[in-house]
Amino acid sequence: MKVRKAVIPAAGLGTRMLPATKTVPKEMLPMVDKPVIQYIIEEAVASGIEDILIVTNRAKSAMDDYFDYYPELEERLLRNGRQQEAAAVRYAADLANIFYVRQKETKGVGHAIWRAKRFVGNEPFAVLLGDDIMRAETPVLKQLMDAGAKYGASAVGVQTVEDCMISKYSSVKVSPLEERIYKVSDMNEKPSPEEKFSNYAILGRYLLSPEIFDILENTPPGYGGEIQLTDGLRQLCRKSPMIAVDFEGRRYDTGNLSGFLEATIDFALASSEIGPWMRAFIKEKAKTL
Ligand code: UTP
């Protein structure tokens, strides 16, 4: 079945990026010349997604404003001969059919996704975490969708991380199916190196069967007192097929400062406009370090 819908949970409090995120949603922080969430929506669209639900909260209305038209601004830009900027402003608003639902209480990623139940209905859907940006030749979500279609399975995007990092992620128990694709039979959230199933960590991209909603509805709070998506996925992979896709590409966690800065430098270097200047600047700077 074609995957048409995606959900982006973006209602977290962003406490790792305070004080910047006290009033600006972390998903709206500028990554070179666009907000973080625009990269994520572009990845979904490039993967063939048509309808996107953003899960927000009362402090995050900047997101729906951003993906709306802004006629006064566009007219002013056009009047001043700034066609390129006017087109960029309009482009963001026309990227996809974007819908919003509020997570009224910040009860965890699993709870945020459960809020998408009515939007999704009874079809497979994608989840892209609102602060994880990917740089990849083939969009990472597309890699998951292709593998998921081949195996008729839900899918999680994984990459290997070192032992000292696994306690920040969910570790999956896997057995190989083919190069880069594994069957998933279990997982745990933020394990210690002794508790981990493997060094494959789930990183921000999922393709899920709608069965997850009934599971999440009955999932009690877990790690950190929040309803964890991993606890729901753990049950899902026991009920129906799930694969892990060791995706090609680089993932940036823009929800913490070092990840955000790494992404800023890499995306600036990759930009045709600012890249040459950034390269020269870094070379010059490196001489003095
Ligand atoms: P994170 O755990 O990275 O976000 O969740 P957070 O809770 O904002 O992080 P801290 O406070 O810095 O530790 C991953 C994604 O899920 C969303 C976040 O907005 C982020 O995009 N999320 C998280 C929700 O939508 N609702 C929640 O209750 C928690």
Cβ-based burial of 51 (10 A; exposed 0-12, middle 13-18, buried ≥19): middle
**Of all protein residues, whose CA lies closest to atom 7 belonging to ligand 1?**
12
* 273 within some domain: no
Residue range 32-57, pLDDT digits in tens: 999 999 999 999 999 999 999 999 99
- End-to-end C-alpha distance for the chain, whole angstroms: 54
Asked if pLDDT for residue 115 goes beyond 80, the answer is: yes
Asked if pLDDT for residue 224 goes beyond 90, the answer is: no
Give the chain's domain count: 1
Confidence class for position 113, pLDDT limits 50, 70, 90: very high
Pairing of β 30-31 and β 34-35? antiparallel
> CB of 63 closer than 6 A to ligand 1?
no
**pLDDT at position 207, please?**
98
Residue range 148-180, pLDDT digits in tens: 999 999 999 999 999 999 999 999 999 999 999
Asked if pLDDT for residue 31 goes beyond 80, the answer is: yes
Confidence class for position 141, pLDDT limits 50, 70, 90: very high
> CB of 15 closer than 6 A to ligand 1?
yes
* 270 within some domain: no
**pLDDT at position 53, please?**
98
Strand positions, DSSP E, the chain: 5-9, 30-31, 34-35, 51-56, 97-102, 125-128, 132-135, 154-160, 170-178, 181-189, 200-208, 242-246, 250-253
* 92 within some domain: yes
**DSSP three-state, residue 93:** helix
Domain that holds residue 82: 5-255
CA of 94 to the centre of ligand 1 (A): 26
User: What gap in Å lies between CA 263 and CA 204, rounded to an integer?
Assistant: 15
Residues present in the chain in total: 289
User: What gap in Å lies between CA 237 and CA 284, rounded to an integer?
Assistant: 51
**pLDDT at position 147, please?**
97
The atom number, within ligand 1, closest to the CA of 11 reads 25
Asked if pLDDT for residue 64 goes beyond 80, the answer is: yes
Q: Which residues, 6 or more positions from 192, have their beta carbon under 8 angstroms from its beta carbon?
A: 167
From residue 265, give the alpha-carbon distance in Å to each of 3, 32, 216, 240, 259. Answer: 33, 8, 37, 41, 10
User: What gap in Å lies between CA 210 and CA 133, rounded to an integer?
Assistant: 24
* 287 within some domain: no
Asked if pLDDT for residue 289 goes beyond 90, the answer is: no
Asked if pLDDT for residue 197 goes beyond 80, the answer is: yes
Asked if pLDDT for residue 2 goes beyond 90, the answer is: no
Asked if pLDDT for residue 223 goes beyond 90, the answer is: no
> What's the predicted TM-score (pTM) here?
0.96
Residue 179: CATH number of its domain? 3.90.550.10
CA of 183 to the centre of ligand 1 (A): 27
Q: Are 83 and 91 in contact (CB under 8 A)?
A: no
CA of 105 to the centre of ligand 1 (A): 12
